[in-house]
Amino acid sequence: MEASRSSRERRRFQRITLQGAVKLYARDGSWPADLIDLSLRGVLVSHPAGCDQAPGTRFRMDLRIFENLPVSMGVSLVRADPTQLAFTWDRIDLDSF
Say yes or no to pLDDT of 97 above 70.
Answer: no
pLDDT for the residue 95: 57
Domain of residue 84, residue span: 13-96
Confidence tier at 7 by pLDDT (50, 70, 90): very low
Give which of 22, 3, 6, 2 is closest to 86, Cα–Cα.
22
Residue 18 lies inside a defined structural domain of this protein: yes
DSSP annotation string for 44-84: EEE--TT--PPTT-EEEEEEEEETTEEEEEEEEEEEE-SSE
Counts for the chain of helices (H) and strands (E), in that order: 1, 7
Burial-class residue 28 by CB neighbours within 10 Å (0-12, 13-18, 19+). Answer: exposed
Q: Domains in the chain: how many in total?
A: 1
Does 7 fall in a domain? no
Model pLDDT, residue 91: 73
Kindly report the pTM of this predicted structure.
0.76
Task: Report the amino acid identity of residue 57.
Answer: T
CATH for 32: 2.40.10.220
Q: Note whether residue 3 is domain-resident.
A: no
Render pLDDT for 10-54 as a digit per residue (tens, 0 to 9): 556 566 666 788 999 999 999 999 999 888 889 999 999 999 999
